[in-house]
């Protein structure tokens, strides 16, 4: 080891979790613009999961759930690592995803909620089928009702996507950004693709956001 | 450009994800200006959101308080209903408490408050004190006189 300087790295201190009191104080200190940001973000996520998955829950419910999760320790806020607003945004995003996933799971397995008698079905030859056979075949593919719900969701999602895209049809940069998103590109990738500055990109997205927000208000009353 | 979304839900999700990134990172002034241009009062929205967040905080605090109250009530109830074996005769109980104070003199001040002398304690006082001492786990550390019924 001669001639080598050993660089001692001290172990990283464990990030400190905020207490409910700190969370409460930090929430009190959130400024108007960030409160607006939280509201817009929650509306965005409710629109994203759609009314079926939201199942009557609003952006306010999403915000409340996010705060509850932080306060009860289901999610954590590390004050030294991020601000409270970023933390709440992360919580909002993940709760909305969970709501969407729950809706999807239960749309395909409503058998959990039906009576045993309803499971007794007859085959083509009139023989009574085992409830387990019925379950396994019905779970494999959605029934007519589920298919109708799924079609309704897709129609509603299509209408909203079409309307947002149509609102940007006469705005070439906005259409290009949407095209980029549809190709699974993020902001920096789109900027690079079209040789835009960040300001150009942001100004364009801002125009899309204004139109999209207006459309969402019309669709969902928010 | 590749990887086109396969469903309309996915197509909409990609637009909304792009907008979510904008909302998350755009400057405060741009957000406030956007709201004004949409015909909304940003301060009114902010006040509403603040109210929603505060209700969530308050609900949590209330729930915690109720939980603590319930736990306290349960604890008190379990202490109250715990069977405690004390001598049947009042004089033996008195000798037990005397033994406690002799071996733990600091406790005497706590149990003979309001300037009351040991001799003025009623049988009921003594029984209540012994119950408390038992619940606190103090009696087991005291060498007690024999209980001869």
Last residue of a domain, one of B62, B80, B98: B80
Q: Measured between CB atoms, does A208 come within 8 Å of chain B?
A: yes
Residue B38 and residue B102 in one domain: no
Q: Answer yes or no: do B72 and B126 share one domain.
A: no
Give the minimum alpha-carbon distance from B130 to chain A in angstroms, rounded to a whole number.
40
Whether residues B34 and B69 fall in one domain: yes
Q: How many CB atoms within 10 Å of residue B42?
A: 20
Q: Is the pTM of this model over 0.90?
A: no
Torsion angle of C-alpha atoms B103, B106, B110, B113, degrees rounded to 10: 100
- Residues B12, B69, single domain; the answer is yes
Are B4 and A45 a contacting pair at CB < 8 A?
Answer: no
Domain assignment present for B85: no
CA atoms within 13 Å, Cβ hemisphere of B63: 10
Per-residue pLDDT tens digits for A69-127: 999 999 999 999 999 999 999 999 999 999 998 766 665 554 434 444 444 454 555 45
ipTM given for this complex: 0.78
CA distance B23 to B39: 18
**Residue in A closest to B53 by C-alpha:** A64
Total domains present in chain B: 2
Selection from A51, A57, A83 nearest residue A70 by Cα: A83
Residues B71, B95: one domain?
A: no
Do B37 and B95 share a domain, yes or no? no
Task: Please tell me whether residues B97 and B47 are part of one structural domain.
Answer: no
Inter-chain touch A158–B13, beta carbons under 8 Å: no
Token duo for residue B92: 């033996």
Q: Which domain holds residue B113?
A: 90-141
Residue-range domain boundaries for chain A:
16-108, 142-222
Q: CB-based contact (8 Å) between A158 and chain B?
A: yes
Return the residue in B35, B57, B65, B67 with the most chain A beta carbons within 10 A, the one to mutate for interface testing: B57
Q: Is A129 on the interface with B (CB under 8 A)?
A: no
Q: Specify whether the CB–CB gap between A92 and A63 falls below 8 A.
A: yes
Residues A126-155 pLDDT 10s: 454 544 454 445 455 677 888 888 888 888
Q: Is residue B32 part of a domain?
A: yes
């Amino acid at each position: 080891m001669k001639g080598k300087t050993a660089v001692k790295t001290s172990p990283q201190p464990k990030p400190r979790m905020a207490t409910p009191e700190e969370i409460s104080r930090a929430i009190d200190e959130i400024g108007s613009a960030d409160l607006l940001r939280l509201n817009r973000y929650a509306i965005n996520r409710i629109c994203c999961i759609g009314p079926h998955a939201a199942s009557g829950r609003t952006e306010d419910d999403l915000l409340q759930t996010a705060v509850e999760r932080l306060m009860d320790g289901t999610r954590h806020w590390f004050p030294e690592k991020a601000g409270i607003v970023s933390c709440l945004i992360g919580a909002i995003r993940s709760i909305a995803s969970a709501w969407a996933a729950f809706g999807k799971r239960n749309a395909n397995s409503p058998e959990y909620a039906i009576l045993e008698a309803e499971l007794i079905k007859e085959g083509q030859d009139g023989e009574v089928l085992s409830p387990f056979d019925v379950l396994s075949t019905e779970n494999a593919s959605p029934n007519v009702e589920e298919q109708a719900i799924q079609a309704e969701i897709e129609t509603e999602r299509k209408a909203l996507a079409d309307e947002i895209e149509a609102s940007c049809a006469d705005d070439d940069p906005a259409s290009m950004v949407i095209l980029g998103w549809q190709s699974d590109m993020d902001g920096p990738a789109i900027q690079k693709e079209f040789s835009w500055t960040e300001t150009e990109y942001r100004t364009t997205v801002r125009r899309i956001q204004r139109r999209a927000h207006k459309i969402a208000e019309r669709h969902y009353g928010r | 450009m590749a990887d086109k979304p396969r469903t309309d839900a996915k197509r909409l999700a990609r637009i909304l994800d792009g907008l979510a990134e904008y909302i998350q990172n755009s400057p405060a002034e741009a957000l406030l200006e956007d709201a004004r241009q949409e015909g909304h009062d940003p301060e009114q929205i902010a006040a509403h959101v603040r109210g929603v967040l505060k209700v969530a905080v308050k609900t949590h605090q209330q729930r915690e308080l109720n939980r603590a109250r319930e736990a306290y009530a349960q604890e008190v109830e379990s202490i109250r209903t715990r069977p405690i074996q004390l001598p049947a005769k009042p004089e033996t109980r008195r000798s037990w408490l005397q033994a406690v104070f002799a071996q733990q003199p600091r406790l005497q001040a706590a149990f003979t408050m309001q300037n009351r002398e040991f001799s003025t304690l009623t049988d009921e006082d003594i029984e209540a004190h012994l119950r408390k001492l038992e619940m606190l786990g103090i009696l087991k550390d005291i060498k007690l006189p024999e209980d001869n019924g």
